Amino acid sequence: MTNFIHQTELPLNTSSFTSTSSSKTTSPSNDGESLTSIEICAGAGGQALGLERAGFSHLAVVEIDNWAAQTLRDNRGQDGPHGPWPVLEMDVNDFDATPWHNQVDLIAGGVPCPPFSIAGRQLGADDERDLFPEALRIIEEANPRAVLLENVKGLGQKRFDDYRAGVISQLTKLGYSVFWELLQASDYGVPQLRPRFILVALKPEFAPYFSWPQKVEVQKSVGQALFDLMGENGWPGAAAWAKQANKVAPTLVGGSKKHGGPDVGPTRAKEAWRQMGIKGTSIAESAPDADFPVNDPDNLPRLTVEMGGAIQGFPDHWKWAGRKTAQWRQVGNAFPPPVAHAIGQSIKNALNKVPLEESQAAATPAGVPTSTKTKV
């Protein structure tokens, strides 16, 4: 891999901040001014891309996986709407956020989900891949005005009540109002269920202006999302396929380096895809061509990496680095950009103290625990 950016080489852009003491947060940006963020555990860039669309400029984008980091460099290493992303290919355990203390608006990231995934052993704090403690350390070092962390819905289970309480307690001690909510990606323009447990934390002066993003009125179907890609090689069955694929997809999975290969997921997910006319046992190299069978239940088209990206809400031009297994791992583990965009817009409005509209309800802060058993 080339084009590495080391943390010590990153320039700090402090022009949009006023001078503050270490005990104070940065002053709010003007409504039209680009806000700043640091992204940890960035993966293939889904959350970072959505936040970019919401108006955030990334000061650092941290990712340890070499292929995911290359994907970030290939897509935003040279240019972007708010300039190139400074990609740091490194372990988040080694990332030092103190250079940005009081000089960044948002710390965001998708901390690894295996410690809480229903598909895994759900070891929580006992799982070596649990990076919530590192996220909390980085938040303390940077003291941003806002925090956004996403994880699987398994983190919302009762067995992790004490763990969540520990996170809330520590963020409260750091001076934040904490909000936690289970959101479905399909409610924000993504043609897939993909429930995610979303944590937003804000300094108290901004909390009254925060509202969870409003849902779309009409959900997008798989057929709508994939029609162009399914027919790009001249398959005559693309239109009929798209018409009957009029549902929201099950959650895509990408597996990990230890488990899982390039397919659409477990047996139940494969069956759901079969009912939408997709063979889910493997991922195709390309879309079906003009000679591919039509209306043959024994010969169904397969998804490609690009189609998986579209199901996640990535633009068609997003480049995926690595071979197919590495590419699909990035796709399946991504946070959908449209969801991040919607949440990012709500955070941006809160930081700019935009009054809530009559149709918007102020978010309810998570309860502050009196005691916790689990140390995060």
Residues belonging to the active site? 113
30 in Cβ contact with 17 (< 8 Å): no
Amino acid at site 75 = N
User: Within 10 A of 34 (CB to CB), how many other CB atoms are there?
Assistant: 18
Q: For the chain, how many residues are written?
A: 376
**What is the spatial order of strands in the sheet that 35-40 belongs to?**
87-89, 56-63, 35-40, 106-109, 146-152, 195-202, 177-184
CA dihedral 232, 237, 239, 242 (to 10 degrees): -90
Cβ–Cβ contacts within 10 Å for residue 299, how many? 11
Tell how far CA 172 is from the center of its chain. Answer: 24
Backbone angles phi, psi at 323, to 5 degrees: -85, 175
Distance CA 245, CA 234 (A): 18
Burial of 158 (0-12, 13-18, 19+ CB in 10 A): exposed
- What is the distance between the alpha carbons of residues 107 and 295, in angstroms, rounded to a whole number? 49
At position 225, the amino acid (one-letter code) is A
C-alpha to C-alpha distance for 191 and 311, rounded to whole angstroms: 6
Spatial contact of 251 and 191, defined as CB atoms under 8 Å apart: no
Token reading at 49: 């891309």
10 Å CB burial of residue 83 (0-12, 13-18, 19+) is: middle
Q: Does residue 254 contact residue 331 with C-beta atoms inside 8 Å?
A: yes
Residues 165, 374 contacting (CB under 8 angstroms): yes
